[in-house]
Amino acid sequence: MPESYDANPLLSIQFRVPFDRIGPECLEPAVARLLEEARSRLAAIAAEPGERTFANTMLALDLMTEPLDYAMGVARHLESVATTPELRAAFNAAQPAVSAFYSGIPLDAGLWQGVKAFASSAESGRLTGERRRFLEKTVESFRRHGADLDPAGKKRLEELDVELTQITTKFAENVLDSTNAFELAIEDESGLAGLPPTAVAAARESAERKGREGWRFTLQGPDYFAVTTYLDDAAIRRRFYEAFTVRGAEEPWDNRALLSRILELRAEKARLLGFRDFADLALEDRMAHNGARALSFLEDLKAKTEARFHEENRALLAFRRSVEGPQAPELEPWDVAYYSEKQRAALYDFDEEALRPYFALEGVVAGLFSLVSRLYGVRVSEEAGAPVWDPGVRYYNMRDEGGEFLGGFYADWYPRDNKRGGAWMGALITGGPERDRFRPHLGYICGNLTPRVGGKPALLTHRDVETIFHEFGHLLHHMFSRVELRSLAGTNVAWDFVELPSQIMENWCWERGALDLFGRHWETGAPIPEDLFRKMKRARTFRAANAQMRQLGFGVVDLLLHTSYSPERDGDPVAYARRIIQEFSPAPLPPRHAMIAGFTHLFADPVGYGAGYYSYKWAEVLDADAFTRFRDGGIFSREIGGEFRDRILAKGDSEDPAELYKKFMGREPDPRALLERSGLA
């Protein structure tokens, strides 16, 4: 008997996801059943006996995998935020068959013939708007994914995709496991010198949770940044830096062989599909279109940044020697953040820790909701009782001011041993038109922010606040979508456009009026004092060239690995990457530096940000320029907010992103806005 839909919570799409009933045992039978059903739907579309129509071919294709997408999306999410050995094993066992199925969709000859038959029909010639775009993008995508390959080529492509899915998953697991394997206990209180009280309290609670004496530190973001930025003990800063930069590079979690294999498989896939390299394959339907243009974009920014970068680093060394004497040594990588923070305090009389009492998580979130209410006319309210995967997770509903239910989302902000690092947003359900309404969306936002300590609320850094606003920008892109077709909805846009909605939100974190909504002292409710605000603003562009060069370095090494790297000529990819990153680094990198082996953005997914890390800078140009409309027309302007919502956020990929941008701005993007905002113009 087939498994009951009532018995297995992954077998049916449920808006109120029953996270409390989803266990590892659900995955295998659900995937087997849903794959069988998806294959049947694919076969039915391919064998359609009647005249080809948009409804029986294109719309059917758009909806064909929705139940499987949902089940795998939920499982993938849980594997990221609440993993167990059993869930990991079940997820890894399910992945190959699912990957093979998805990879095989454009390779199905009958389906491809059906798509081409509709493309040549009279109805297709009358299509306009997003339906026309969906047809054109589908035909392009099928060709780019091997629809015209011969049977041997299709078989090889499927093998490549399955192996890439398996080994990129293993890459991510190795990074998580090697991160969790490191901890350092400081038992003598004198060894904590320099650390802010919040970091000390968090480390004490971490030790107590583990039944340890002293203060416990890990490689999770809040600990790592506190130690490398503030701890006076250079030897311990060095231990943390070196441990962090060899994650995924040492046994038993060594990603080196996986990294080489991922690059090899991606290159083979690109050649098989008729592209020069993986960058050209990955970027063909993005705004940059090819690797050469993306690399040229980064090199142009590098040329405009390099002189200031060297000035900043000479000034930092001079600052150290002004404090410690002319014989003070050159800076090591684990010294840079530490002395930079001291230099910033000296130059601007500004300590970022002074802002923490004004950024209690609950207040920041409430202020964020107030801001989006003003800009976009929506109300966000927490709903108690929704099933969640961890007690710390919160669930919220979002409604338009007229009462229309736009959707719901989960927020999971704190680090845990069973949760991957970083911050991200994801979609669980993408709504669409249904009779007289639009079905609601469901998504989530996750982070690894400073947790509650010592009975106080979670007090955040300003960087943490920017992270929340960034991920909420992605969420708004999903929640505001009003696109008919799932494939073109929400964040399903070109990857060098997807960061515009997220990065533009960070701008409000620097505006006095907006800060007064969410920057309030957790005890007194007082706003950030004006003198502290002025110091914060003056310090904003401190070492901006270094911040920019860091991002440019990641983008350049990513593109070069996916365009010009040759294992025969260039040898070990970790050493190759280290040589490139050195050009963008303020201090000499140690010989063991292996950051690339832990770079999950690039290698934890068959595609991910591979050959696409430049997207952050590309979108930063867009966001800095687009925000000038709010800066000049009012940071709370409902009119401008409405235009941004209607012309960008609601449109998904229903139109060319360059055209969407021009409709909002009335012109092409101006890169000078980014340089001016960064103090580099």
pLDDT tens sequence across 626-674: 999 999 999 999 999 999 999 999 999 999 999 999 999 999 999 899 9
What is the pLDDT of the chain when averaged over all its residues? 96
DSSP per position, 306-326: HHHHHHHHHHHHHHHHHHH-T
pLDDT band at 185 (very low <50, low <70, confident <90, very high): very high
DSSP letter string over 223-266? HHHHHHHH-S-HHHHHHHHHHHHTTTSSTTS--HHHHHHHHHHH
Asked if residue 469 has pLDDT above 90, the reply is yes
Half-sphere exposure of 469 (CA within 13 A, CB side): 27
Please answer whether residues 620 and 547 qualify as being in contact, where contact means their C-beta atoms are separated by less than 8 angstroms: no
Q: What percent of the chain has pLDDT over 70?
A: 99
Domain covering 19-148 assigned CATH 1.20.1050.40 in the classification: yes
**Residue 190 predicted with pLDDT over 60:** yes
| 3 confidence band (pLDDT: 50, 70, 90) | low
Neighbours of 668 (CB within 10 A): 10
- 574-618 pLDDT per residue, tens: 999 999 999 999 999 999 999 999 999 999 999 889 999 999 999
At 70 the pLDDT is 98
pLDDT of residue 6: 66
pLDDT digits (tens, 9 = 90+) for 446-455: 999 988 887 8
User: Are 57 and 118 in contact, with CB atoms under 8 Å apart?
Assistant: yes
For the chain, what are the domain ranges?
19-148, 182-245, 357-542+637-654
Q: Residue 608: its pLDDT value, please?
A: 85
Q: Quick one: pLDDT at residue 263?
A: 98
How confident is the model at residue 1, as a pLDDT? 36
Residue 7's pLDDT is 87
- pLDDT computed for residue 495 by the predictor: 87
Q: Kindly report, residue by residue over 219-245, the tens digit of the pLDDT.
A: 998 899 999 999 999 999 999 999 999
Rounded mean pLDDT of 362-369? 98
Is position 668 annotated as part of the catalytic site? Answer: no
What is the mean pLDDT of the segment spanning 185-203? 94
pLDDT band at 2 (very low <50, low <70, confident <90, very high): very low
Catalytic residue among 79, 130, 353, 471, which? 471
**Mean pLDDT throughout 560-582?**
97
- What CATH class is the domain 357-542+637-654? mainly alpha
Average pLDDT over residues 263-292: 96
SS3 668: coil
Give tens-digit pLDDT for 321-348. 999 999 999 999 999 999 999 999 999 9
> Parallel, antiparallel, or unpaired for β 437-438 and 394-400?
unpaired
